[in-house]
Structure 1
Amino acid sequence: MPSKSINIPSNFNTQSVLGFPSPSFLLNLCKILVVAGLLLSSFSFFIININPSCSHVSTNSLSNPLQNIVVAPPAPDPPTDIGDLVFGLVGSVNAWPTRRHYIESWWVTNLTRGYMFLDVPPPEKLLPWPSTSPPYRVSEDNSETILKFTKQNDTMVRIARSLLETFKQGDKGVRWFVMGDDDSIFFLENWIELLRKYDHNKYVYIGGHSESVLPNFIHSFEMGFGGAGVAFSYPLAQALVPRLDECIKRYPQLYAADQMWQSCCADIGVFLSPQRGIHQIDLHGDISGLLSAHPPVPIISLHHPEKVNPYFPKLDRKDSVNHLMKAAKVDQSRLLQQSVCYNRENSWSFSVAWGYSVHIYEAMYPMSILQKPLETFKPWVIKNVVPPFFIFNTRWPVRDPCLAPHVFYMESIEDGAEDDLIVTTYKREGPRGLHACLANGNHSADYVSNIRVYSSSTKLKGESRRDCCDVVSLDESNLVEIKYRECLKDEVVA
């Protein structure tokens, strides 16, 4: 079939029909791109000359602008404070009337958080429950869940499970669980300073050893003794709680609750961070020798007040605790920490346990000697035990006038009495009953009846060295004055 002829108009634009831009359009576009390129080059040159560091930006950064975005690190947690702690305390209804005042000496109503776990509900004579004590809870019955399988001591299992029961109370914002007994005396400010050293977001297990060798040997040198206080970080407690009952049943041979905790921590790879200021007081008798030579660390706790003599010999146990807490409420950072200074004219050494006692020796002894406690106490187990008794060195009390101290105990404390200083006054316990130390010039200290110590109201912080001191007044009157100060760089106390 012959094809038909098609007539195309002379003004018809085939480029428009096929979608191609016209030559004039392309020419205009090229002009625009050239001008834009010149402007961009000029702008880049201008920026690089203003800020030469831009010239070092890599091509990778330019090609991927997301690489230049700096992600700010998360804000650090605020320092640990009292509201971040929850105390889990264990006691019994029968012991509570006589032990209540130990807890109330440090518990602060509406500030401290925690619970007192009792063995049975309190009887009517103990109700209404006082607001000055931790709120009570009754421990769960373990007879069917654990005891019928393990035959362990009911009280010890109850203490071990107090961590679980404290956790189950559901307190918000907890960083640390601090466990203890109803005869635990805690020093809250020092607990806080101690816990601030550790990362509460990690698994942390903190406690102290027994002072006597045998309890450490029987139980474990890797164990925190729970009566004096054991601290668990929240993540560690969270990891232990679901496994605690099974862990207790896994160790039916263990007697002590605190050894159960230690074993359960070890099973998940967590080990004790020991602290010297946590005092189990596995001792008997007069512990004034230990308290008068406290190491240069904050005192965190004192346990077993009923197993030793009153801290102050002329007061009963309750009043002794309250008297010590008078100093604690003014300055816990220095409480009991030992400082040594000298009166070289008389060859006297002064050993000050701030807020507790002062000893005068009629001879010059360096710190390396005086830091050893006088062994005025006895070990926890006395019969059929051979040395060493203690986990620290001691000095034997003797009747040698050059070695036996004149002993003074704190009588009063004044905060900010003058020049923003704290003034503690110490009174002689009684006559020493010995003649003067003739080897050092026959300079008797028998006439001294009172010692006044001036210390700064600024608290010791962190890993500060102990305070040094100077004897600023010593004459024929019955008063000696001592003033605390910062130790000089590399100062030798000897």
Structure 2
Amino acid sequence: MPSIICSKLNTILSDILNKLFKLLVISGLVLYVVYIIFFNNPCSYSSILTNKAGHNNKGPILHKSSSSTTPTNVSHVVFGIAGSTSTWPNRKCYIESWWRPNITRGYVFFETFPNNNDFHPWPHSSPPFRISEDTSKYKAYDKHLFTQAIRMARLILETFNVEKQGVRWYVLADDDTVFFIDNLVDVLGRYDHDKYFYIGMSSECHASNFYHSFEMGFGGAGYALSYPLAKALVNNLDVCIKRYPTLSSICSSTISPSLIAPPRPSTPNISLHDPKRILYRLMEAAKVDESRLLQQTICYHKPKNWTFSISWGYSVQIYEAVVLPSTLQKPLQTFTPWSKSAMPFFMFNTRIPSNNPCETPHVFFFDSLERKRGGDYLITSYSRGRARALPAACSSSGNHSADSISKIIVLSPSTKYHHIGNRRECCNVLHATRRNATELKLRDCFENEILP
């Protein structure tokens, strides 16, 4: 009896499986036909999928949009600058150092109307100002410890509403940020502005990334949004503020792909946040050649076993030993954390300073710049910052002291420095110790040149 029941059950199960198989085959054929008819038509793709195609597992697609054949220039970029009437008198020098009247586009947004003499008359050298909209209607949703958080979050909306014509990129930043305009335009021009792009860098402070987001472009040094992303964000901003009352940065991540950080080796210096005392000297060099600013060049003088590390427009270091590029590309930590309680402190990959004379450089800071020799070269000079206060020389291997050197002169090509696809530059030591000065000439590395 049990065998008969089992036999009938097997028969029934076999019939069910056969029918299910036929159903799956028919369904598959139907779906295939639908795919052939509809999904091979380029007009049938979802607009969201098309816009997000600028980011995939292999990184961003950098080709230009077919709808915009002209290269990106400064007129395509609009700046939204978060300001405050209380800090502006001390910070306007930052903005005026890079702002180009009648060329750059954008606004400074204040929380209240400026009424004192520090603001009247409003200087032509500063961007026009606007007053941020009243955010009291968000009071029930405002869970931020920082009282200006909602106003800052709405900066993109207010900038977008006043500047739309011909805009490809919106750049948002604080009022104590310095931009290098030509470098910024160069980097933004590598991306397709018709797609959804969110470009910036995470914070230098590990704690800020941990508590807020590793996928957030921190506003201090600025971040950029392509026009389509800015438009989508503006249309959904109020919903985001109400839905995410403690973390408004989520708004952009719900609409766009992940934050894109331009690759460091092929990216010029774009901005600096709160540069303070170095501002004047740095901008003096930037006005002549932004493309080379702070770019590192390494060369060696083997007769004395010296290594030179040049940060163009800022400093030159002499090491009394042959130091490998892999070590020099990791900069010395010459700063302290802004918050002693924020541990671990930094996201930077830095070297801890040493008292070993073979590892501690002589440091020379940017002093002046001039054009000479038919205009083919820029000549920058760097003067010793202070005595190294260490033994006279790195005595091992017969190395020589650099204590007598008081000045470094660097000759660099007057042509723009191209970062993409090129090796880091090399240099020749023309004169090691002439009148207590050393002269270096930057050049392209030779094809088979391996340093040191």
Shift in Å, 1:418: 4.1
Contact 2:430 2:440 in 1 (8 A): yes
1:100 aligns with 2:57: no
Shift in Å, 1:269: 4.0
Amino acid at match of 1:204: F
1:264 aligns with 2:251: yes
| RCO higher in structure (CA 8 A, sep ≥6) | 2
Contact 2:196 2:256 in 1 (8 A): no
Deviations 1:398-428 (A, max 9, x none): 2211111101001001134545101100011
Contact 1:212 1:380 in 2 (8 A): no
Residue in 1 that maps onto 2:270: 300
1:395 aligns with 2:351: yes
Deviations 1:59-95 (A, max 9, x none): xxxxxxxxxxxxxx96752110000000000110010
Deviations 1:223-264 (A, max 9, x none): 11111111000111111101111111111122xxxxx23x11
* Aligned partner of residue 139 in structure 2, secondary structure: helix
Q: Following the alignment from structure 2 to structure 1, what is the Cα–Cα distance between the partners of residues 372 and 182?
A: 19
Deviations 1:75-128 (A, max 9, x none): 752110000000000110010000000010000111000000001001141111
1:273 aligns with 2:260: yes
Could you say if the C-alpha distance between residues 233 and 75 of structure 1 is closer, same or farther in structure 2, counting changes exceeding 3 Å? closer
* Aligned partner of residue 185 in structure 1, secondary structure: strand
Contact 1:179 1:230 in 2 (8 A): yes
Shift in Å, 1:149: 2.8
Q: Following the alignment from structure 1 to structure 2, what is the Cα–Cα distance between the partners of residues 368 and 297?
A: 19
- What TM-score, normalized by structure 1, do the two folds share? 0.75
1:91 aligns with 2:83: yes
Task: After superposing the two structures, state which structure 1 stretch, 372-381 or 216-225, moved more.
Answer: 372-381
Q: Following the alignment from structure 1 to structure 2, what is the Cα–Cα distance between the partners of residues 487 and 82?
A: 32
Residue in 2 that maps onto 1:450: 407
Deviations 1:154-181 (A, max 9, x none): 3111111010000010341000000000
Shift in Å, 1:470: 1.2
Deviations 1:343-396 (A, max 9, x none): 0010000000001000000000011011111111123432262x4x33232211
Q: Following the alignment from structure 1 to structure 2, what is the Cα–Cα distance between the partners of residues 450 and 370?
A: 21
Contact 2:306 2:318 in 1 (8 A): yes
Shift in Å, 1:475: 3.1
Could you say if the C-alpha distance between residues 433 and 150 of structure 1 is closer, same or farther in structure 2, counting changes exceeding 3 Å? closer
Shift in Å, 1:490: 4.9
Residue in 2 that maps onto 1:165: 158
User: Structure 2: where are the runs of 5+ without partners?
Assistant: 1-64
1:116 aligns with 2:108: yes
Q: Following the alignment from structure 1 to structure 2, what is the Cα–Cα distance between the partners of residues 195 and 74?
A: 16
Could you say if the C-alpha distance between residues 365 and 124 of structure 1 is closer, same or farther in structure 2, counting changes exceeding 3 Å? same
Amino acid at match of 1:157: I
Match of 1:327 among 260, 285, 291: 285
Could you say if the C-alpha distance between residues 143 and 331 of structure 1 is closer, same or farther in structure 2, counting changes exceeding 3 Å? same
* Aligned partner of residue 101 in structure 1, secondary structure: helix
Match of 2:216 among 202, 219, 223: 223
1:484 aligns with 2:451: no
Q: Following the alignment from structure 2 to structure 1, what is the Cα–Cα distance between the partners of residues 260 and 233?
A: 17
Could you say if the C-alpha distance between residues 442 and 242 of structure 1 is closer, same or farther in structure 2, counting changes exceeding 3 Å? closer
Could you say if the C-alpha distance between residues 98 and 75 of structure 1 is closer, same or farther in structure 2, counting changes exceeding 3 Å? closer
Match of 2:365 among 384, 391, 409: 409
Match of 1:140 among 133, 142, 146: 133
Deviations 1:283-330 (A, max 9, x none): xxxxxxxxxxxx66311111133xxxx5xxxxxx2xx31211011011
Q: Over alpha carbons, which structure has the higher Rg? A: 1
Amino acid at match of 2:257: V
Could you say if the C-alpha distance between residues 269 and 476 of structure 1 is closer, same or farther in structure 2, counting changes exceeding 3 Å? closer
Q: Following the alignment from structure 2 to structure 1, what is the Cα–Cα distance between the partners of residues 434 and 141?
A: 73
Q: Following the alignment from structure 2 to structure 1, what is the Cα–Cα distance between the partners of residues 245 and 404?
A: 61
RMSD over aligned Cα atoms: 1.8
* Aligned partner of residue 412 in structure 1, secondary structure: strand
Could you say if the C-alpha distance between residues 232 and 75 of structure 1 is closer, same or farther in structure 2, counting changes exceeding 3 Å? closer
Residue in 2 that maps onto 1:190: 183
Could you say if the C-alpha distance between residues 77 and 142 of structure 1 is closer, same or farther in structure 2, counting changes exceeding 3 Å? same
Shift in Å, 1:213: 1.6
Contact 2:425 2:445 in 1 (8 A): yes
Q: Following the alignment from structure 2 to structure 1, what is the Cα–Cα distance between the partners of residues 67 and 273?
A: 38
Q: Following the alignment from structure 2 to structure 1, what is the Cα–Cα distance between the partners of residues 376 and 448?
A: 27
Match of 1:210 among 175, 183, 203: 203
Contact 1:179 1:226 in 2 (8 A): yes
Q: Following the alignment from structure 1 to structure 2, what is the Cα–Cα distance between the partners of residues 188 and 384?
A: 32
Amino acid at match of 2:206: V
User: Structure 1: where are the runs of 5+ without partners?
Assistant: 1-72, 255-259, 278-294, 311-316
Could you say if the C-alpha distance between residues 416 and 108 of structure 1 is closer, same or farther in structure 2, counting changes exceeding 3 Å? farther
Amino acid at match of 1:226: G
Number of matched pairs: 384
Contact 1:346 1:443 in 2 (8 A): yes
Residue in 2 that maps onto 1:27: none
The 5-angstrom pairing of residues 56-67 of structure 1 reads none
The 5-angstrom pairing of residues 281-320 of structure 1 reads 297-305=267-275, 310=276, 317=277, 320=278
Task: After superposing the two structures, state which structure 1 stretch, 168-177 or 341-350, moved more.
Answer: 168-177
The 5-angstrom pairing of residues 345-356 of structure 1 reads 345-356=303-314
- What TM-score, normalized by structure 2, do the two folds share? 0.81
Amino acid at match of 2:208: P
Residue in 1 that maps onto 2:386: 430
